[in-house]
Structure 1
């Protein structure tokens, strides 16, 4: 069988995200994962002093993840990725519990928000490629009862998502409009990533 991935070592994903891993595997890439182990909140606090916009913040976090793992494995191609949700300039984070998830969905209901997904590729402790994508999503107006029903149906996995929804599942019922690439919504802009890998000579196709 012909090989798509040209390096001798697998792509190293600086994340344990099952969703991002699934996107990469579905594209035929050979991937290993490793937790970056960075303090994301500390990076966000530092970025706040630089007045970074949400898209730039996503790029900073993706790059820091890639660099952290690349320093440990300098001979590997390392991919870092991150996603930031902003609504009218306010950055949202993954909810800590169901009550926080409910409150977050209530604040987003009936409003448009942006999902900024960014990635960085690092080799030898240096970022060699950066890419990003933005999707715009509008939640329909939701009652408290509707939010509670959704949280019951979706289960605890929604706490793993910054938007408290999973479009590939019950989350699709929350939306009035979705504008953007599906992989960007899932947290990894796949087409820009593949273009970057081709530029690095990592793909035969």
Structure 2
């Protein structure tokens, strides 16, 4: 008598980001969404890459405590301008300031993803750095873009999947969805390693 396959563990996205939810839904995999209660304040002198990795894992672990049987995905993105972390601006004024700092510069968007399953003891974290070169933007271009897009919930104020693409000279990445907020190639790799069967 052959054994029937073990039932698939539920998948939970530990994020309230609509961008991450849209990206994960591309995999045609049923999943729930849970809000991770994690303090996102950088530690003094913490590098943007380390911050993104730490927060992705902290989010996945926080949600895994509440859903111990599930495979939980946590993710975080920090814009890295010469070693300085740029978070979500939150306001128009801060977005203007961020884009003025970034014009003519290369910014690394450090996008980390972690997968945790408490029941099986599975835990992996990885990072997909995306190198983004900004055009030398005028103040008028910055103002027009912000009024049109209002990207105040996006790290570094740059929403590449929308009008933000017009601010850029180049994007270099080995995981094309990383800039939007969830590196799906790495996410798929981790889900398979955690025993999730992808459609």
Q: How large is the RMSD of aligned CA atoms in angstroms? A: 1.6
User: Which ranges of structure 2 fall in alignment gaps of 5 or more residues?
Assistant: 1-6
Deviations 1:102-124 (CA, angstroms, capped at 9, x unpaired):
11100000100101111111111
Aligned 8 A contact 1:21 1:31 in 2: no
Match of residue 203 from structure 1: 197
Query: Mapping of 1:1-205 within 5 angstroms?
Result: 7-9=8-10, 11-41=11-41, 44-45=42-43, 48=44, 52-124=46-118, 128-155=123-150, 158-180=151-173, 181-204=175-198
4+ long deviations beyond 6 Å? none
Determine the C-alpha separation between the residues in 2 that align with 1:70 and 1:124.
6
Q: Alignment length, in residue pairs? A: 191
CA distance in 1, matches of 2:87, 2:131: 17
- Alpha-carbon separation, structure 1, partners of 2:16 and 2:90: 18
Structure 1 residues 71 and 8: alpha-carbon distance in aligned structure 2, compared to 1, 3 A threshold: closer
SS at the partner of 2:177?
Answer: helix
SS at match of 2:20: helix
Distance 1:142 1:94 in 2: 19
CA distance in 2, matches of 1:54, 1:144: 26
TM-score normalised to structure 1 length: 0.88
SS of equivalent residue, structure 2 residue 85: strand
Which structure's residues are more often helix, by fraction? 1
- In the TM superposition, residue 91 of structure 1 has moved relative to its aligned partner by 0.7
| Partner SS state of residue 115, structure 2 | strand
Query: Offset of 1:8 from its aligned partner?
Result: 4.6
Secondary structure in 2 aligned to 1:40? coil
Q: TM-score by structure 2 length?
A: 0.90
- For residues 52-75 of structure 1, give each alpha carbon's deviation from its aligned partner in whole angstroms, at most 9, with x where no partner exists: 432222111001001111111111
The runs of 5 or more residues in structure 1 that have no matched partner are 1-5
